[in-house]
Amino acid sequence: YYGLVKSLSKSDLTPENVQMALERNFGGTDRNENPCEVYFDTVLRTFNKYQNWTYEPIPTLTLIKANLDDESARHLMVIGKSDSIVTILTYQLKEKKLDPVVILGSQFQDDQQDYSYSVLSRIMMCVESGRSLILTDLEIIYGALYDLWNQNYIVFGSKNDPKYYTRVALGAYANP
């Protein structure tokens, strides 16, 4: 809920801004189920002075762009059943003059352990250098990056040259 509160604190509490914050933080459900109406209808009506308010779905691409434009946003997580999302994200990042690294998971059971350590090391190198990452089919290591996803950083260094650290752990391997 922290991301939602942070989003809401940046703008006027209009129904549209509340909907955008809700969609960016709790969207991603089946498009037939609207989380704004299902879970937050009362909240939206309150911010609209109890008048009727019509929900208009926000296109996924608009939500992606809003996240990428927001420098203080949480790390973008997009879950989809199609590989086209990798193409969409790559295009959006290149539009921002960023060159993302795409890392794919291995489908071979015997690769899981060694490959996971290799991928985790590569992710850490990319994060340390500030590279944008697109990760796909890496369920085995997503949990190891919990503190990274939640921007749970320890900051060292000066205000002009901060260094960010976070805990990463996979099996017996840990990098505090």
Task: State pLDDT tens for residues 73-126.
Answer: 878 877 777 788 899 999 999 999 999 999 888 777 666 677 888 888 898 888
**Does residue 9 sit in the same domain as residue 49?**
yes
pLDDT for the residue numbered 175:
56
pLDDT for the residue numbered 26:
75
Residue 146 near residue 168 (C-beta atoms within 8 A): no
**Does residue 126 sit in the same domain as residue 173?**
yes
Q: What is the separation, in whole angstroms, between the first and last Cα of the chain? A: 25
Residue 87 falls inside a structural domain: no
Residue 80 falls inside a structural domain: no
Alpha carbon dihedral 48, 53, 55, 56, in 10-degree steps, equals -90
CB neighbourhood size of 130 (10 A)? 7
Residue 86 falls inside a structural domain: no
Query: Angle 84-95/60-69 helices, nearest 10 degrees?
Result: 40
Residue 83 falls inside a structural domain: no
Residue 93 falls inside a structural domain: no
Residue 89 falls inside a structural domain: no
pLDDT for the residue numbered 94:
94
**Does residue 104 sit in the same domain as residue 170?**
yes
Residue 91 falls inside a structural domain: no
**Does residue 110 sit in the same domain as residue 45?**
no
**Does residue 52 sit in the same domain as residue 8?**
yes
Query: Domain limits at 42?
Result: 1-74
Confidence (pTM)? 0.73
Q: How confident is the model at residue 8 (pLDDT cuts 50, 70, 90)?
A: confident
Domain total for the chain? 2
**Does residue 56 sit in the same domain as residue 109?**
no
**Does residue 169 sit in the same domain as residue 103?**
yes
How far, in Å, CA of 78 to CA of 9, rounded? 24
